[in-house]
Amino acid sequence: MSFALIVTPEAIIEAAEIYAYHKQISQALADRFDKGLDACFKDITRNPTGYQVRKKNYRHAMVGKFRYRVVFAVIGQDVVVFQVRHTSRKPSKKFGP
């Protein structure tokens, strides 16, 4: 079964802000984050149900060696990404820790 990836505008903005932050430190670091996020997206579309349900129907996947997680849900044939967040942020009431 193949799944389509849908990234919400909020998640796109969060990922862009994270990329910009890392770019201020080093272009190489920003590029590694970008590659890690891309690999994470590929993994969750290949096997979205392989990730534990954290709260309601939301699942979390880590972005490579970075301390960021992708919050997503499987809705029909789609994998919908709702958030890209740092793991030390206060837990979300909607998406869980």
- Amino acid 68: pLDDT: 92
Matching residue, tokens 């699942």 = 59
The number of residues in the chain equals 97
Domain boundaries, the chain: 4-86
Instruction: Per-residue pLDDT tens, the chain, 97 aa: give them.
Output: 679 999 999 999 999 999 999 999 999 999 999 999 999 999 999 999 888 888 888 999 999 888 899 999 999 999 999 999 888 876 665 665 5
- Amino acid 56: pLDDT: 85
- Amino acid 95: pLDDT: 61
CATH topology of domain 4-86: YaeB-like fold (3.30.2310)
Query: In terms of C-beta density within 10 A (0-12 exposed, 13-18 middle, 19 or more buried), how is residue 93 classed?
Result: exposed
